[in-house]
Structure 1
């Protein structure tokens, strides 16, 4: 559902990564917004803390973030934790390298088109996936994360009898800091043994190794969950379900929520909050 953007007073928060990545696009977007809005305040935060303070002190101004997927997720997460998402419509001008999420949400590519959408667009309310640590997911959740790193010990484990490999292993141990006590180890590469529950019903249990789990928006108020069992021989058929609550538990696992990798954790629950946040998009 879309509603017209009403406030002409803008708070433009320019993410530092965007300034470093493409200063020209940032300048163009700032010029278009300043020329088209009744009043524009520009903030140039140097880090996450200043980014948070700028949003918290926005007053009645409409927040506009110039940045990439991570900047958008950070803004939504901050407003969620401040319990101010319901009354605040966000706008985004995408600048940076990681923009897959913003494209999937319908934000126009290009500084001029996106800035004009901020001025002339309408608010569209969308579902939000919120976990039990108050983290948010706007788009896709994946376990294991795409592009995960193979643990170093798998590369150097065959060093017995090879002096040059033992030397490499010693060098790796010198360069890689020791894990602080109390921090969970990274999960092993390969199939995971996880229990996946959707609205309290078990979709896959610990006895079935899985190659991957994905959670994406489904019908309004629900998420679509797909589990790919680890195949032996012929490819196994994916298991799928839709529901409001998704719980994953079992061995330590990492997960990729939008552009951010988190974990390892032993269990995590995500709940869909229907129409929880608003984004200004082109009308129509």
Structure 2
């Protein structure tokens, strides 16, 4: 880190409430290593204002995956994501730090804070959807059951017939093992991988090296794999999981890979170790 590097450390309120001691440790390490301005926003609005007023300071987010995603989303929508590297010190509940870990940020306040100071800015891909939302990790569209239909009780005189029918069905209908499927149209760069007349158990997509790796999993058949710059999924209402979030119901969604769209400070790659996270070092 340059002697003239200045940091804007934005401490997410959730991190302060969940693990104040780790927050204190991270602040101590950062303040001892660089000229640091600490911001303690109490709301998303204050978080946004602090980031907008960063000036030439390098932003450092102290918080969980939601805080990191909020920062990347704000910078993306202001078209300022490519202007400089972003750093993060992951602090929060264990299940809320999975995206940061998957990107290569070391766990622990001390190790992560030292990475902010001594790490290397590496360019990473971004998945951007047609609603201008961003995905840092991957997307998964799992099949989910629809609401169960509740039938009105039959008249009393029909109970014997119903019980006989149920016993017959239990004996003759094989168990399906709880198999759940979707009816989705999946297109990778305009090439049709699956249509609504073909059931699928799940669709997953992740970006690596400027390309989206798409996997469509039909039931009782090998998965279909493809590489593409753009993926479009449409069909009956569905939800998808992205960066530990679940979307509202949608009828269609398109994701596009933006290669090297943002930079994250990560530990240096040891000589001869190769690329671990699929990113590339920033060039001066």
Q: CA deviation at 1:7?
A: 5.5
Tell me: CA distance 1:227–1:279, structure 2 relative to 1, closer, same or farther (3 Å).
Answer: same
The residue number in structure 2 matching 1:211 is 201
Normalising by structure 1, we get a TM-score of 0.81
* Runs of 4 or more above 3 Å deviation: 4-7, 158-161
Correspondence for 1:282 among 260, 267, 282: 267
Q: Deviations over 1:225-264 (max 9, x none)?
A: 00111x2xxx321111001000000111111111111121
Q: CA deviation at 1:190?
A: 3.4
CA distance in 2, matches of 1:142, 1:202: 18
The residue number in structure 2 matching 1:122 is 120
Question: 5+ unaligned residues in a row in structure 1: which ranges?
Answer: 162-188
The residue number in structure 2 matching 1:164 is none
CA distance in 1, matches of 2:48, 2:152: 48
Q: Deviations over 1:43-77 (max 9, x none)?
A: 11122221111111100000000111111111111
> 1:171-186, aligned counterparts within 5 Å?
none
The residue number in structure 1 matching 2:22 is 25
Q: Deviations over 1:79-106 (max 9, x none)?
A: 0000001112110001012111111111
The residue number in structure 1 matching 2:188 is 198
Tell me: CA distance 1:47–1:133, structure 2 relative to 1, closer, same or farther (3 Å).
Answer: same
CA contact (8 A) 1:5 1:122 kept: no
CA distance in 2, matches of 1:69, 1:5: 27
CA distance in 2, matches of 1:54, 1:261: 27
SS at match of 2:205: strand
> 1:131-146, aligned counterparts within 5 Å?
131-144=129-142
Q: Radius of gyration: which is bigger?
A: 2
Tell me: CA distance 1:221–1:6, structure 2 relative to 1, closer, same or farther (3 Å).
Answer: farther
Q: Deviations over 1:97-141 (max 9, x none)?
A: 211111111101100010000011110001100001000011110
CA distance in 1, matches of 2:4, 2:56: 8
The residue number in structure 2 matching 1:174 is none
Correspondence for 1:99 among 97, 100, 122: 97
2:10 paired with 1:13: yes
CA distance in 2, matches of 1:21, 1:160: 49
Count of paired positions? 243
Tell me: CA distance 1:213–1:259, structure 2 relative to 1, closer, same or farther (3 Å).
Answer: same
CA contact (8 A) 1:129 1:138 kept: yes
> 1:1-284, aligned counterparts within 5 Å?
8-37=5-34, 39-97=35-93, 98-144=96-142, 153-154=147-148, 157=150, 160=153, 190-218=180-208, 220-229=209-218, 231=219, 235-284=220-269
CA distance in 2, matches of 1:46, 1:159: 51
Q: CA deviation at 1:277?
A: 0.3
Q: Deviations over 1:159-217 (max 9, x none)?
A: 747xxxxxxxxxxxxxxxxxxxxxxxxxxx93111101000101111110111110012
SS at match of 2:248: strand
CA distance in 2, matches of 1:87, 1:25: 29
CA distance in 2, matches of 1:157, 1:64: 52
Q: CA deviation at 1:144?
A: 2.5
